[in-house]
Amino acid sequence: MEFGFAPEDDAFRREVRAWLDTHVTADADRCGWERTLGAAGWIGLGWAEGGYGNRTATLTQQVAWAEEYARSGAPPRSGHIGENLLAPTLIAHGSGEQKARFLPAVAAGEELWCQGYSEPGAGSDLAGVRTAAVREADGYRVTGQKIWTSLAHEADWCFVLARTEPGSRRHHGLSFLLVPMDQPGRIEVRPIRQMTGTSDFNEVFFDGAHARVEHVVGGEGNGWRVAMSLLGFERGVSTLAQQIGFAEELGRVVRDAEATGAADDPVVRARLVRQWAELRVMRWNALRTLGGSAAEPGAPSVAKLLWAGWHQRLGELAVLVRGAGASVGPADWSAAAPYELDAAQHLFLFSRADTVYGGSDQVQRTIIAERVLGLPREPKGVES
């Protein structure tokens, strides 16, 4: 199953390719790149409501944009959390005032967002959130800690799942708050250094941070419904672009296997073929679910299980085909200087987290068992 491109879609793809060929540079900073995309109208292609996005594009054209972007080697996006998670959530649940305030700034690449969901005691089990938001005259006072917050060090705003009803448990009494990050003394961001040497994830500490009352999405106490709706937006067009990146990584592993002679080993060849075949299955599954109901039970969990395990196995293959050379970095390093990794080493180390972040494999299997197969629900522990 592949998309068949109509003449107008082919013309759109050529326009995308020409623009990317002209504007993609190796030295583009991520925040400036978002503004470049926004000024050219490439953010918010799928927003059909209210004219808050830039260009309008059909679903097929959105796929064309995402795939050409991935193929072009353009910089990693800093604005994807605002564009692909917050914006659809506001369109589905936000007030007219919230849409008018936040969507144009996201579409212009002028305001960046991070996601305040996971906590030290509430990661995959999101209903265990303890961050509290106490109602005041003009808003809420937010106190608590979030962790694994991607790009918090760059973000202007954070959408925060917090407990607004004292004494509430599990998914009751939660609200979805929009919190400005520029609050010195009230919000502290601490980067988490990973074994790759990078710090894309952060801890975020809220110490009486202020959130305006009109920035509660979906109404007070309805945070769980809004939060679950947002998680449904994490699949879609972006998964196809992700798979283009996966295909390029697989191509590098195949070339390394040929260069080192590892491809002569029939066991290695069989593993490479299996990786290729599984990647095709992922693409067909993404196309099958694309445009379907965001409420389709289990679909996001199936997709996460497929790509997380696949990517982790690819990382293992990347160092396997390199042999002993995989243990040597591309440059000399010492304890006084950050170490460097080549692409294969970075792939191997970073992909160790794939089966944990975004909901662990165990949690995804539980969701499929309960919501798709109808098996008895897993008993939850009682909060102290």
Q: Compute the distance between CA of residue 226 and CA of residue 294 in angstroms, rounded to an integer.
A: 13
Question: Is the separation of the CB atoms in 91 and 19 below 8 Å?
Answer: no
Which member of 68, 83, 111, 234 is catalytic? 234
Six token digits for residue 154: 């760059």
Residue carrying the six token digits 């106190």? 143
CA 299 to CA 378: how far, in whole Å? Answer: 20
Q: Are 162 and 131 in contact (CB under 8 A)?
A: yes
Q: Could you count the other beta carbons within 10 Å of the beta carbon of residue 153?
A: 16
- Compute and round to an integer the Cα radius of gyration of the chain: 22
d(CA 348, CA 312): 7
Identify whether the C-beta of residue 265 lies closer than 8 Å to the C-beta of residue 321: no
Give dist(CA 80, CA 112) in Å, integer: 9
Cβ-based neighbours of 139, under 8 Å, separated by 6 or more = 210, 211, 212, 213, 215
How many CB atoms are closer than 10 A to CB 69?
Answer: 20
Does residue 367 contact residue 302 with C-beta atoms inside 8 Å? no
Strand pairing class (157-163; 113-116): parallel
The Cα 216–Cα 221 span in angstroms is: 10
With beta carbons less than 8 A apart as the criterion, state whether 132 and 116 touch: no
Q: How many CA atoms does the CB half-sphere of 234 hold within 13 Å? A: 17
Helix (H) or strand (E) holding 179: strand 174-180
The residue among 291, 349, 348, 284 whose CA lies nearest residue 314 is 348
Write out the two tokens for 332.
Answer: 């000399």
Q: Is 278 an annotated catalytic residue?
A: no
- The dihedral built from the CA positions of residue 97, 103, 104 and 109, taken in this order, carries a sign that is positive
Which residues are designated catalytic? 234
